[in-house]
Structure 1
Amino acid sequence: MIAHVWLWIALGSILVGSVLSAVQVALRALSRVALEDLVKGPRRGAPNGNGAEQRLPDSLEAILTDLPGHTAAVAVPRVICNLTVGLAVVLWFRDLRGVPSVGPIEATLGLLAAGVIIWLTGVVLPIALAEHAAERVVVAFAWMVRALAVAFSPLRSLVAFTTEIVRRLAGEQVRDTAEAREAELLSLVEESEREGDLDETAREMIEAVVEFGSTTVEQIMTPRTEIQGFEYTDDIESVKQAARDATHSRVPVYSQNLDTVVGVLYLKDMLRWLISGGPDAGQFCLKDILRDATFVPETKTVRELLTELLEEKVHIAFATDEYGGIAGLVTIEDIIEEVFGEIRDEYEPEEDDTPQVVVDAETRVAEIDARAEIDDANDELETIDLELPESEDWDTVGGFVVTTMGKIPDPGETLLH
């Protein structure tokens, strides 16, 4: 009779421990996006029948706000259940053998049996559930998780304190909620592409929108070496000829060099000036028809820049480096292309001036334009299992080569890295 008691205690502990293990693993694999899809339906964030936006239940919001604390609160009773299973199985074997005390045989058999049971019900099953139904498990047992969190609230404080100490010792920066959600969304997008729900173009567009707030002017600007402009002392004939050859309707005007930009020439302003019968050619001065130039630091985010350009009603800005020199030029078109991809108008040349990365998979050889960004080059080099190192010291392939070699390489020179 006593043996049956220990058996029932073991079975009850196994059942409760299995549930707690499944909930704990599900909490670790929980995704806010997937949880909102489950609770609100596919039209996440759509208004309900009363016209108000749907929200997650308070219990689920509380769990998402403090996942580590709630996970720790579930772990304590789970450990207690596992210990109870081990003890009950050992005592059950003792009573089955009819011996007065636990010996080596009973202890060995009991612990082996308990270990297998706990592994199956506390590891294998919870991982399978978390992989396929983590959000459903959390929704079903949210009431229990909240109750345990309240019961073990001192433990949650201890966990938060310990986590903060470990984070500081590891030197990890605090990750705000917005950044965490951004990382989670990007991960979800990549997973959707792997599963075939999104094509590459859609993935790139979504990623560009998500990363829009953190993208800087430096990442999208036209570099200084590719800027075409006029010197403000140029005569009318030189300006006319350059205007005919220009591929843009807004052209920088500088004094002596690009570090001293004095304004921007809108070709329509020049055309209007010519039609209206401006002063004689000998009296022509570009400064008379220039518009003020806008300068922004190259570290400014694209989102902030777009807001500034719209407020000032200008289409072009000059990016400056930390020393005040001109680092590059950025336009509203560049910002739009960051999200939607290359937009080529009728005035741009047909040939593709994008830095090329040509990879030969058979010979495992790649020909790369020095202007190509490291990220773009690595995307193409994946096909031959190669990757160029990334660093804050360079952005382009040319920058990597020059920095690594410590000089501008001669034609045909080889770099081993």
Structure 2
Amino acid sequence: MITYLLLTLFLIICSAFLSCNETVFTKASRIKIMQWINDKESGHEKAGFLLTHPQEVITTLLLLSSFVNIALSTLVTSFMIELFSLNNIGSIAVAASLSVIISSLFIIVIGEIVPKTIGYYFADKLFFVFISSLYFMTYISRPFVFLFTSLSKTFLFPFGIKNIKGLPSITESELRYLVNVSEEEGVIEKEEKEMISGVFEFKDKVVREIMVPRIDMVCIKKGTTLSDTLEIIRNEGHSRYPVYDKDIDNIVGILYVKDILMNLGPSTDYSKTIDSSLREAYFVPEGKNISELFRELQAKRLYMAIVVDEFGGTAGLLTVEDLVEEIVGEIRDEYDFDEEALVKDFNENSFIANGRLSLREFAAKVDFDFEDFIDGYNEETLAGLLFALFGKIPKEGEKIIFKGIEFKILKVDGRRIKEVLVTKEKGDVDEVRQ
């Protein structure tokens, strides 16, 4: 009887220990561990081995945990059957049923929930406590790990999974945390932090979020004379222009200003059209990921893409400069002096926003999580959100409160919201005020 109890207690402790180790290893900060390794603290070689063999560590812990839990269930079952047999309490079936219930409670509560919760909250501290035991268990279990990993790969192969990947050495959240701390401690400047954050956000954005919308596109009609085209170039200051036939939904090419300028001379006929100077346009859907588009434009050595909507109409355009600005911030050249600022400070609690400001940028400006802020809305810009909230084209002076933020329409140009006064208010009530 005592032997059974001692063995059961030992196996429960082993199960809890292994579960805690598993959570600690997966949750512990890779940044702190690598700093510890770089400082060559005691045990740094073992820590280095564990970080470079994450799949072996996890597989070892899962195997040992499975063996221990099976042994625990078997032991409890044997104990209950013997107890029932000696005392003529009931049938073997009843004993087996009770053993399943008891062993399950032990394994789930004491062997899983409690130790994993402890490991989750104290992962960084416990990693350095468990490092020797983790290393020892992983090292002596390597033959068994190799055997079971090989068997696993055999069963996974039909599903197209050829490699079992381990844990990332550093997660994105850890890198973001490191960037924030570095800025707070003065290691990097605010602009550098924004640039690094832009890299993280770059892979999550789609074309429609950053494109120049159709209404802001400067296009040239097919058949326009060279003289008229040069006048447009002087007034607008762009280096490339989409060219359309009949209407803007039918883009037939891209005009590069340098192609025209290189052919100008004393004998140039300014009455001829630009049609022979067009280059092929590159079209992309508005839902395309911008990181994929950036790679495509690089590979094709293109500078501009025409964005089309789901119906095939022209939704806007996007340039390499627009893509780069998502990382490095606004790039202003000699032609940008009169460009409207998307955000202008007003006072301590207010600022003036352009309707073209993207909701992702707006959410960051007002310290909101983007997904929480849009809350089911599909609009991409501040103007789009305000149209949806008002349910109409608002007039100058009208106000609305959304997510505890007051929006006052300052300037409307036709059907376009040009300027909005944004003021942070208390509360989170949504209402429309005239």
Does the alignment reach a TM-score above 0.5? yes
2:297 to 300, 305, 309: 309
State the Cα distance separating 1:237 from its structure 2 match. Answer: 3.7
Q: 1:73 and 1:148 mapped to 2: Cα distance?
A: 12
Aligned to 1:250: 240
SS in 2 for 1:394: coil
SS in 1 for 2:322: helix
1:372 to 357, 377, 395: 357
SS in 2 for 1:371: coil
**Pairs within 5 Å for 1:6-45:** 19-20=17-18, 22-30=20-28, 33-34=30-31, 37=34, 41=38
1:299 to 253, 276, 287: 287
Matched, 1:201 2:196: no
Change (3 A) 1:211 1:329: same
| Partners of 2:212 and 2:317 within 8 A in 1 | yes
Q: 2:361 and 2:5 mapped to 1: Cα distance?
A: 62
Aligned to 1:271: 261
Aligned to 1:328: 316
Q: 1:132 and 1:200 mapped to 2: Cα distance?
A: 31
Change (3 A) 1:7 1:273: closer
Matched, 1:61 2:55: yes
SS in 1 for 2:387: helix
Deviations 1:356-411 (A, max 9, x none): 2646445xx5543221111211222239xxx7434452111111121233322223
Q: 1:128 and 1:270 mapped to 2: Cα distance?
A: 66
Aligned to 1:394: 379
Higher mean C-alpha displacement, 262-271 vs 136-145: 136-145
SS in 1 for 2:366: helix
SS in 2 for 1:263: strand
Change (3 A) 1:293 1:191: same
Deviations 1:279-328 (A, max 9, x none): 3x4x4112122222222222333333233323333211111111111111
Matched, 1:382 2:370: no
| Partners of 1:215 and 1:301 within 8 A in 2 | yes
State the Cα distance separating 1:187 from its structure 2 match. Answer: 0.3
2:336 to 327, 348, 353: 348
1:228 to 185, 208, 218: 218
| Partners of 2:19 and 2:116 within 8 A in 1 | yes
Change (3 A) 1:142 1:13: same
**AA matched with 1:377:** F
SS in 1 for 2:311: coil
| Partners of 2:343 and 2:351 within 8 A in 1 | no
| Partners of 2:244 and 2:251 within 8 A in 1 | yes
Matched, 1:144 2:158: no
Aligned to 1:51: none
Q: 1:375 and 1:252 mapped to 2: Cα distance?
A: 27
State the Cα distance separating 1:23 from its structure 2 match. Answer: 1.4
Matched, 1:134 2:127: yes
Deviations 1:338-362 (A, max 9, x none): 22222222332165x3422646445
Structure with greater proportional helix content: 1
Change (3 A) 1:235 1:124: closer
**AA matched with 1:248:** H
Structure with greater proportional strand content: 2
State the Cα distance separating 1:214 from its structure 2 match. Answer: 4.3
State the Cα distance separating 1:333 from its structure 2 match. Answer: 1.6
Change (3 A) 1:348 1:30: same
Q: CA RMSD in A?
A: 5.0
**% identical equivalent positions:** 24
| Partners of 1:223 and 1:328 within 8 A in 2 | yes
TM-score normalised by L of structure 2 = 0.61
Aligned to 2:389: 404
SS in 2 for 1:329: strand
Change (3 A) 1:122 1:239: closer
Q: 1:349 and 1:77 mapped to 2: Cα distance?
A: 71
Change (3 A) 1:242 1:409: same
SS in 2 for 1:190: helix
Unaligned regions of 5+ residues in structure 2, if any? 40-47, 76-109, 153-162, 401-429
**AA matched with 1:249:** S
Count of residues in Structure 1 that have an aligned counterpart in Structure 2: 345
TM-score normalised by L of structure 1 = 0.63
